[in-house]
Structure 1
Amino acid sequence: MSWTDYGVIFPVNNLERWAKSHAYVPTAIELDETIRVFVAFLSGKNHGRLGYVDVCRHDPRQIRGYSKSPVIEDAPEGCFDANGVTPLGIVREQDTMRLYYAGWEVVPDPLVRYRLQTGLLLGDPVKSYFKRYGVSPVIATRQVEENVRTGGCILKLPDGYHCWLATQKGSTSHMGKVLPVYDLEYLHSEDGLLWPEAQTNVFSHKPNEILGYGRSAIWLNEKHEFEGLFSVRNWDGNYTDIMYATSLDGIVWSSLSRSGMAFCAKMTCDGQTSVSFPNIIQQENRKLMFYNGNDFGREGLRLAIWSD
C-alpha cells in the first residue's frame, strides 16, 4: 500500500483570459463516469475564480474537459468574497449540491492584507449552475482580530454536518510578509446552514514550527473511524508535508505523522518542494488524491493514487 504520484495531469498556463495560472485547492465529486474537480483558477492579478476540470472516473489521468468560463460571477465590491473564491468542500443534499467556499476580501491594512470567510453555493454541478446562498458568509469571523475562519473540510454524516476549519489566533511575519497564525478547529451543524460560534480545538499552531493548517481531507473508513490527511503549513509559510492522523470521533486525533498515508513533497515524481490542499475520492481498492504542488498549485492540477 503506497502512493503513486502522477504529477500534473492538467497544466494551467494562460488557459483562458480569466484563468492564467493555478488549479488552487482542488475539490472533487464523482458524477457517473466523470469526476469533476472544482478549482480556483487565478487571473494575472491573483483573483481566484471558480472553475472545474473533468477527468475520467476510471482513469483520472484522462482529461474530458474544463470550464471555459467562471462557474459564478464575481461578487460586487464590498462583499466578503469580492476579491476571489476558493472551493473547499462539496456535499450532496437531496437533488442539489452544496459547495462551500472561501471568500477573499482584501483589507486596506498592511498588517492584515485579507480576510477569509466561508460562503455557500447551491446548485447542480452536472449543469455547472450554482448560485450564492446569500450575500453573507455562513461561517463568518467573530471578532476584529480574527480575519481567517475558513479552509474547511466538510462532511455530511447521519447526525449532521461536520467541519474542520482554520481559525486565526494571531499573526507573524516572514521576510517582510505578514502571515496569519491559525489552529485547526471543529464545528458541528445540524443543517449545514447555521453554524455555532463556539469551536473545539483539534490541532494547535506551534510557534517557530507550525504556522497553521490548510484545507485538509477527512473521511470515514469502513470501520466508521475517521482518517485524515492534514495540510500542515510551516512557520515560514511553506507547505512541505501532508500529514496523516486517525480519530474515533473526529475531535481527538492521534499525533500527526509522516507515516501511514502521509504524502510529502519528497514523494512527488518531479521533485516538488511543496504539497498542500489534498482532496480524496474513495473508490474500490484505491483512493484518488487531487492536490497542489509548488506555489500553491501554480502549474496545474496534480494527482496521486493510493492502492490498497
Structure 2
Amino acid sequence: MWKKLGLVFCPEGTSEWMSSHATVPTPYHLHGDLWRIYFSTRDSSQRNQVGYVEVEIAETVKVCSVSQQPVIPFGKLGYFDCDGVYATSLVKHRGLLYFYYAGWNAGRDGIFYSAIGLAISEDNGLSFRKYTNAPVLGRDRVDKWAVMAPFVQKLAEDNWLMLYTSGIELYHDKDGQLKSLYDVKSAYSQDGLEWFKTGETAIGLEEKDTNIARACFGVEDGKFKAFYPYVSKALGNYRIGYAESADGLHYTRKDEHNLASSLCVGPTLSWDSDAVTYPHVFEHKGKFFMLYNGNGFGKTGFGMAVWQE
C-alpha cells in the first residue's frame, strides 16, 4: 500500500510569478538522493509557468532549493501557449531533455483551448528553449476542443509513445455551470519531434466518472501500467486510478486495485482532504515513490508517498 510521506512543497506567494499552486509534479534524477521536481505554478493573474524545487529523498524528504525564475515562459501574444504552460512529461534523449507541455489560451466564459508543445534543454534542465512556437500536437478532427496533459515514453530509439488527455465535450449543466468531459488517447513518433495520432481512446470514461487527466505510464515485465487522476461523479473531485495494457494503446481500468485505491484523501482540513490527483510514480534506490497533488488542483502544493508491500 502507499504510505504518505507528507506535504513536500507549497508556494508561499513570495514571488509574483510563483504566487500559488505547484501542479502536476514531474521528477528528474540529478545524482545520489537529489531530485529536481518540476511543477506548474501560477502568477497573480492565474497564468501558468514552470518552476522547480530540488529535494533530497533519504530517510526524510527535504527541500534543498527553489527556482528563482521560470524555466519555460509564456508564448508570444496570440500563440497557443500565451496564457500558460503546464509541463507534464520529461524524457532524456541523446544528452538533451525533452519537456512536453500543454500550452493554453483563455476563451470566453471560463472556456480554454489547449495544445501540446515541446521544450528542449541543453543544460540538464536548468533552462529550456521551445522546439517550435507552434504545437507538436494540436486540435483537429480527432480532438476538436482540447489536447493536453501529455506523458511520453521512449520505448526504443525510433519508437516513442504518448498518452494525452483529449477534450471530448464542453456543456452547461442544469444549473448553468460549465462542465467538461475528457479521456486519454494515444500518439506515436519515431523521433519525439513529429507526432501522429492513433485516433483511438487508450483509457476511456466509465459511468462513475467524467474526466481523466495526465496518465503516467511505464513498462514492467512486458506489461504497461498507468496511473491517472479521474473525477468521481459521486464525490465531485479527483481520485487516483490504475490501468494495465498489453500493447500500451488499449488499457483495462482497475481503479479498485490497491496500487491506486490505497492512496486515500487525508483527514479533515488537511492539504489533501478533498482530493488526491496528478500522480507520477518513479523509482529511487529500489523503492517506488508517488508524487501527487491534493486540494484545489495543486493550490495546496504537492506531496509524496512510498509503496510498501
TM-score, scaled to structure 1:
0.90
State the match for 1:50 in structure 2.
Answer: 50
Q: Is the 8 A contact 1:13 1:299 kept in 2?
A: no
State the match for 1:196 in structure 2.
Answer: 196
Q: CA-to-partner distance for each residue in 1:269-300, whole Å, 9 max, x for gaps? A: 64521111111221243111111100011011
Whether 2:300 is the aligned partner of 1:302: answer no
1:306 aligned partner, one-letter code: W
Q: Is the 8 A contact 2:25 2:38 kept in 1?
A: yes
Once the two structures are superposed, the pairs formed by residues 44-193 of structure 1 within 5 Å of their partners are 44-59=44-59, 61-107=61-107, 109-110=108-109, 113-124=111-122, 126=124, 128-143=126-141, 146-158=144-156, 159-174=158-173, 176-193=176-193
Q: CA-to-partner distance for each residue in 1:5-41, whole Å, 9 max, x for gaps? A: 1231112121312111110111111111321111011
Shift of 1:233: 2.0
Question: Matches of 1:116 and 1:237 in 2, distance apart?
Answer: 26
Deviates further, 76-85 or 118-127: 118-127
1:251 aligned partner, one-letter code: L
Once the two structures are superposed, the pairs formed by residues 259-270 of structure 1 within 5 Å of their partners are 259-263=257-261, 266-268=264-266, 270=270
Shift of 1:84: 0.6
1:166 aligned partner, one-letter code: T
State the match for 1:41 in structure 2.
Answer: 41
Question: Matches of 1:31 and 1:57 in 2, distance apart?
Answer: 11
Deviates further, 31-40 or 114-123: 31-40
Question: Matches of 1:225 and 1:50 in 2, distance apart?
Answer: 32
Q: 1:15 to 1:7 in 2, by over 3 A?
A: farther
Q: Is the 8 A contact 2:203 2:250 kept in 1?
A: no
Shift of 1:301: 2.0
> Once superposed, what is the RMSD of the aligned Cα atoms?
2.3
Q: 1:120 to 1:237 in 2, by over 3 A?
A: farther
* Gap runs ≥5 in structure 2: none
Shift of 1:136: 0.4
State the match for 2:16 in structure 1.
Answer: 17
Whether 2:219 is the aligned partner of 1:216: answer no
Q: 1:131 to 1:145 in 2, by over 3 A?
A: closer
Shift of 1:46: 1.2
How many pairs align?
Answer: 303
Q: Is the 8 A contact 2:106 2:112 kept in 1?
A: yes
Q: CA-to-partner distance for each residue in 1:235-279, whole Å, 9 max, x for gaps? A: 489433111122221123233322231046635364521111111
* Gap runs ≥5 in structure 1: none
1:153 aligned partner, one-letter code: F
Question: Matches of 2:49 and 2:24 in 1, distance apart?
Answer: 12
Question: Matches of 1:304 and 1:52 in 2, distance apart?
Answer: 19
Question: Matches of 2:236 and 2:52 in 1, distance apart?
Answer: 25
Question: Matches of 1:265 and 1:283 in 2, distance apart?
Answer: 19
1:199 aligned partner, one-letter code: G
Question: Matches of 1:167 and 1:214 in 2, distance apart?
Answer: 9
Q: 1:124 to 1:201 in 2, by over 3 A?
A: same
Question: Matches of 2:160 and 2:60 in 1, distance apart?
Answer: 28
Question: Matches of 1:67 and 1:82 in 2, distance apart?
Answer: 21
Question: Matches of 2:274 and 2:265 in 1, distance apart?
Answer: 10
State the match for 2:294 in structure 1.
Answer: 293
Q: 1:293 to 1:267 in 2, by over 3 A?
A: closer
State the match for 1:251 in structure 2.
Answer: 249
Q: 1:122 to 1:150 in 2, by over 3 A?
A: same
Q: 1:59 to 1:189 in 2, by over 3 A?
A: farther
Other structure's SS at 1:296 match: helix
Other structure's SS at 1:140 match: coil
Q: Is the 8 A contact 2:2 2:262 kept in 1?
A: no
Other structure's SS at 1:304 match: strand
Q: 1:197 to 1:186 in 2, by over 3 A?
A: closer
Deviates further, 249-258 or 22-31: 249-258
